[in-house]
Amino acid sequence: MTAPAGDPALVAAGALRAWTAHALERAGVAATDAGRVADCLVQTSLWGIDSHGVSRLPHYLDRIELGSINPRARPVFTRSGPGTGSVDGDHALGFVAVSLAMDHAIMLAREAGVGVVGVSNSSHCGAIGLYTRKATAAGMVGIGFTHSDSFVTPHGGDHAFFGTNPISIAVPTGDPARPLCVDMATSIVPWNIIMNARMAGQPVAPGLGVDAAGAESTDPEQIVAVRPAAGHKGYALAFAIDMLCGPLNGMNYGPHLTRMYAELDQPRRLGSLMIALDPARFAGAATLAPAVAAAIREVKAQREGILAPGDPEYRSAEARGRDGIPMDAPLRAELRHWAAKLGVEPPPFIDAD
């Protein structure tokens, strides 16, 4: 398992998971929470969603050090009705607060057929598909939303207002490891794509972002906002998601939220909304998963190369699980920096410089 000369170094998923959990524990995170966050970050990197994987760990460690993420948070769930409730995240790592919310949404759905749990006082929770897939692993349909501070222009505008505000819907297929899973930002690209380009010192494709004057730019150092996905459609979705994640949960929205990559000493105060649906309560209970699997086969039969939502992640997980997770030089440097600060060995990079 070696990387060709000039390629990013590789690290085995198991070793990276163990190292990430250890680093978080050394930063003050409780062992159970550190393991959960490590699982989420490494799984996201295995899926090939590098914008939300282990590359974000230094950011979370920065915020823990500066006090805006509570490493010993104790999120609290409060039930508000037969199928509803809320989680106060206590400014935890978002993975901890939002995982708890989906866990309770699943429990509520087992009782009432549907579970809807809002989250308040949380922080960045990574790839939202982590939580909807958690629902499918329990035999449920999972729906999830979260929001962020201003990174995206409104349709027809040139300055940031809403966040990348992702949506995820996951439906069982009969294969617990491969549910149908839509996981998408309502922006043309996630903001972390711009951050990763900055770290790598590489331009981004034309048409993705604008600079402070509202002019199109490919320079990630100059880009301050990205465009909404599909113009007015992504903008409309982002608007609705922000209202369901922010005001519905007593949180703010868009330009009034603490900025992710500035104000590092200020809690994010983000909201999310997790929904679980029990297929057993619907007319298609017995046929849902087989029908979804059949639909996937049927659409793929049209032409070679057609993929179902979730397939790119599953293919990446197979390859990276076998070969290792690639890490470029800037990320390796950041992880070495934090390893030294925390007094731990760096991850065992393969063919690293």
pLDDT tens sequence across 138-149: 999 999 999 999
As a whole number, mean pLDDT of residues 22-51 equals 97
In whole angstroms, give the CA distance from residue 117 to residue 346.
38
In whole angstroms, give the CA distance from residue 67 to residue 117.
26
H helix and E strand count, the chain: 10, 12
Encoded tokens for 184: 């998408």
The residue length of the chain stands at 353
pLDDT class of 7 with cuts at 50, 70, 90:
low
- Looking at the domain covering 1-66+310-353, what would its CATH class be? mainly alpha
Domain(s) of CATH 3.30.1370.60: residues in the chain? 74-188+227-309
Q: What is the pLDDT of residues 116-143, one digit of tens each?
A: 999 999 999 999 999 999 999 999 999 9
pLDDT class of 4 with cuts at 50, 70, 90:
very low
Domain(s) of CATH 1.10.1530.10: residues in the chain? 1-66+310-353
Residue 149 DSSP SS3: coil
Q: Assign domain 74-188+227-309 one CATH number from 3.50.50.60, 3.40.50.720, 3.30.1370.60, 1.10.150.110.
A: 3.30.1370.60
Q: How far apart are the first and last CA of the chain?
A: 16
CA neighbor of 26 nearest in space, from 18, 334, 140, 142: 18
What's the whole-number average pLDDT of the chain? 95
Residue 169 DSSP SS3: strand
In whole angstroms, give the CA distance from residue 121 to residue 334.
28
Encoded tokens for 52: 């939300």
